[in-house]
Amino acid sequence: MMKLAAAAITLLLGGCTGEPATPRPQDQPRTTMSPTNDFTLVYSERRGPELGEGLREYENRIRIDGMSSTASLSSCRASSDDQGLPIGSFSMTLDSHELTNLFQNATGINLGNLPRPRGGAVGASLIELQFQSGSTSWRKSINSHDRTTLSHFRALFDPLNRIHGRLYSHPTEALRVSLRRDTNGFLVVLENIGRTDLAVLDPRPLGATHLDAWAGMLVAEFPPVTPGITPAPLRWKQVALEVPSHDSAIPRRSSVLAASETMAWRVQRWTPTAPGRHIARAVLVDYEGPAAIDGVPRLRGAVFSEGLEFTP
């Protein structure tokens, strides 16, 4: 998993569907209040062009709430597209030791001794940390290429990275995509791994001609291996989903995907150019449209499956 401090981050006003979902009462720990409980810590990410209304290509936000002992994540795209991670909102409880550690690390940073900020770079991320406890608050924005300043906040990045990885196992409103192969070809399978219904717009009319709005399969042939020579990079080809002829000229249909349910779409027939080893991944990239349909939340962003290796 790409480390948080290597990603681009600015404070989000919301996530892919707004604020990360609040844990249900039964998820809340019953703890005795202590001075370190009353704090909030936000680590947020935002970079790339605006691909949907109020939504940039990469937007991720982690929020630690000491009062409720919760950590929440809102993500519309993983920092690295080849991880097979879900998108959406995730939330879990933290124990008192983790909260105390975060509080002490946040209050122990010497903000008056920060190095001079370095200039940014094309495509760099903006990392933003925000801390508040009582009358104490601070906020710091850091360019992701400014390694000197980043190292000054390592005491926070290390535990936040560990929390970030664990949060993906606690979805509240989230989607995951996978690629399946059968005797007729490939299927892109979308799964609601959260706790609530989600609205889904039929992705088949998106086609596969654009990078910022398409659905289907990425497939590449593994290059031949020659000892002592670095293999050439994979050359990915985009393959769109099949579109029924009667659906080609009508608006995209919406449907509701209940918790734990899946829906699948067939990938267009694909013919390999060589018989060797290949790898393929399912892709759904859709930033446009509303954040809710008929009152049902809808996730916008980009979700990629894990790689599926096969030999035609």
Give the residue among 269, 281, 280 at the shortest CA–CA distance from 222.
280
Assign a CATH topology to domain 4-169: Mago nashi protein (3.30.1560)
Predicted pLDDT of residue 247: 55
Higher per-residue pLDDT: 223 or 82: 223
For the domain spanning 175-310, the CATH number is 2.60.40
Give the model confidence (pLDDT) of 8-24 as tens digits.
332 333 346 555 544 44
What's the pTM? 0.84
Give the model confidence (pLDDT) of 210-249 as tens digits.
888 899 999 999 998 888 888 889 999 999 999 977 655 5
- What are the extents of the domains in the chain? 4-169, 175-310
Phi, psi (degrees; rounded to nearest 5) at 229: -125, 130
Print the SS3 string covering 12-36.
CCCCCCCCCCCCCHHHCCCCCCCHH
Give the residue among 182, 178, 206, 179 at the shortest CA–CA distance from 193.
178
DSSP state of 86: -
Give the residue among 133, 282, 284, 136 at the shortest CA–CA distance from 211.
284
CA atoms of 223 and 26, how far apart (whole Å): 52
Predicted pLDDT of residue 257: 98
> Which of 141-145, 179-183, 269-273 shows the lowest per-residue confidence on average (mean pLDDT)?
141-145
